[in-house]
C-alpha cells in the first residue's frame, strides 16, 4: 500500500493528467472549423489579438465586464492558485530560502515564505468558499450546476485546507523530507512518502485532482484558448482564389445547384428598356 501510494500513484496520476489533457485538446484541434466563427469586433492585427487573449487569461476581462462580484472571486482564486503553485516550486526546492535570491537574509526569507504561503493559501480557501456559496445560494447558478461542479470546488478546497493545516504546529512535515521525496520522484528513484499524515492526505488529494482533471470541466484551462482562437480568426477576404485550401470536407462535398435557365423574358425586357 505504501509503495502504491508513494511510488505508483504519483506517476500514474501525472500520466493520466498529461495524457488526458493532451488527448482532449488534440481531439478538439483535429476537428475542422468549417466556417469562420469570428466574433466581432476583433482586432485586425496579430498584436491586438494577442493582447486580447492575454487580457482574458491574466485578467478575465470579459467576466469583469459582466459580473464584477463574481470576477473578484474567480480572479482571486486563479491568482492565488498560480501563486501557491509557484510558491510550492520555489519554497520546497529552496527550503524557504528562496527570498535570499532577491537579497533577504535566510531568517527573513523563512518568515516571508510562511507569511506569503499562508496569505495566498487563505485567499484561495476564501475564494473557493465564496464560489461554493454562490453555487449553493444563487438560484440560477444552483440550477446550472451538476454534482461534479460542487465536486470540483470541494476537491480544491480539501487540497487547500490540508495544505494550510500543515502550518499548524506539530503537523508540519520536514520540508527536507518532502524535497527528498519529490526529488526521488523526479529522478525516477522513488523513496517512501514522508511520515506526516496531513502531508500524505494533501498528496493523495492532489493525485486525485490530477486523475480527475482531464475528465472534468477544469480542462477549461486549455479549452478556453481553443475557443478564443476560433473567435478571433480573421474573416474571409473576397474574392476567394481557387487554390485556397478548403476548410473542411463540407466545402469539397459536391453538389450542383439546380439553376433555372437564364430567361429570355428578362433579357427582352432589358433590350426594350436600354
Q: Give the residue among 132, 118, 128, 130 at the shortest CA–CA distance from 163.
A: 118
> Which grid cell sits at 184?
526521488
What mask of x and - would describe binding to ligand HEM in positions 41 to 80, judged by CB under 6 A? ----------------x--x--x------x---x---x--
238 binds another protein (CB under 8 A): yes
| Residue showing cell 525516477 | 188
55 binds another protein (CB under 8 A): no
Residue list 191-230, contact with ligand HEM (CB under 6 A): 199, 202-203, 206, 218, 220-221, 224
What gap in Å lies between CA 107 and CA 198, rounded to an integer?
25
Q: Give the residue among 170, 141, 155, 22 at the shortest CA–CA distance from 70.
A: 141
CA-CA distances (angstroms) from residue 73 to 69, 129, 146, 156, 159? 7, 9, 20, 14, 18
CA–centroid distance for 121 within its chain: 19
> Which grid cell sits at 23?
488527448
38 binds another protein (CB under 8 A): yes
What gap in Å lies between CA 112 and CA 130, rounded to an integer?
27
What gap in Å lies between CA 59 and CA 147, rounded to an integer?
28
Span of 4-12, 86-94, 145-153, 201-209 interacting with another protein by CB under 8 A:
145-153
28 binds another protein (CB under 8 A): yes
149 binds ligand HEM (CB under 6 A): yes
For residue 87, the tally of other CB atoms under 10 A from its CB is 18
CA-CA distances (angstroms) from residue 26 to 23, 30, 90, 233? 5, 6, 31, 19
37 binds another protein (CB under 8 A): yes
87 binds ligand HEM (CB under 6 A): yes
Q: Which is nearer to ligand HEM, 191 or 247 (CB)?
A: 191
What mask of x and - would describe binding to another protein in positions 101 to 140, judged by CB under 8 A? -------------------------------------x-x
> Smallest distance from the beta carbon of 128 to another protein, in angstroms?
13
What gap in Å lies between CA 147 and CA 152, rounded to an integer?
9
Span of 25-33, 156-164, 231-239, 258-266 interacting with ligand HEM by CB under 6 A:
156-164
Q: Which is nearer to ligand HEM, 206 or 247 (CB)?
A: 206
Question: Contact residues for ligand HEM (CB under 6 A)?
Answer: 57, 60, 63, 70, 74, 78, 81, 84, 87-88, 91, 117, 120-121, 124, 131, 135, 149, 152-153, 156, 159-160, 163-164, 166-167, 172-173, 178, 182, 199, 202-203, 206, 218, 220-221, 224
Amino acid at each position: 500500500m505504501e509503495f502504491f501510494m508513494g511510488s505508483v500513484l504519483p506517476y500514474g496520476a501525472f500520466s493520466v493528467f498529461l495524457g488526458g489533457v493532451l488527448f482532449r485538446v488534440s481531439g478538439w484541434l483535429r476537428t475542422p472549423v468549417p466556417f469562420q466563427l469570428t466574433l466581432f469586433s476583433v482586432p485586425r492585427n496579430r498584436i491586438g489579438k494577442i493582447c486580447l487573449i492575454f487580457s482574458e487569461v491574466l485578467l478575465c476581462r470579459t467576466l469583469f465586464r459582466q459580473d464584477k462580484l463574481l470576477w473578484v472571486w474567480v480572479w482571486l482564486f486563479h491568482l492565488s492558485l498560480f501563486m501557491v503553485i509557484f510558491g510550492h516550486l520555489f519554497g520546497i526546492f529552496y527550503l524557504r530560502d528562496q527570498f535570499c535570491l532577491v537579497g533577504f537574509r535566510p531568517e527573513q526569507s523563512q518568515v516571508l515564505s510562511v507569511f506569503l504561503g499562508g496569505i495566498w493559501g487563505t485567499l484561495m480557501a476564501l475564494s473557493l468558499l465564496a464560489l461554493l456559496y454562490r453555487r449553493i445560494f444563487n438560484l440560477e447558478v444552483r440550477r446550472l450546476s451538476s454534482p461534479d461542479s460542487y465536486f470540483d470546488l470541494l476537491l480544491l478546497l480539501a487540497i487547500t485546507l490540508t495544505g494550510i493545516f500543515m502550518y499548524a504546529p506539530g503537523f508540519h512535515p520536514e520540508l527536507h523530507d518532502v524535497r527528498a521525496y519529490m526529488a526521488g520522484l523526479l529522478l525516477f528513484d522513488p523513496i517512501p512518502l514522508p511520515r506526516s499524515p496531513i502531508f500524505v492526505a494533501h498528496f493523495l488529494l492532489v493525485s486525485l485532482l490530477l486523475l480527475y482533471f482531464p475528465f472534468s470541466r477544469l480542462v477549461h484551462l486549455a479549452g478556453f484558448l481553443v475557443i478564443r482562437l476560433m473567435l478571433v480568426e480573421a474573416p474571409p477576404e473576397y474574392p476567394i482564389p481557387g487554390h485556397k485550401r478548403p476548410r473542411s470536407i463540407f466545402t469539397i462535398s459536391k453538389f450542383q445547384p439546380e439553376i433555372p435557365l437564364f430567361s429570355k423574358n428578362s433579357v427582352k425586357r432589358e433590350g426594350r428598356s436600354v
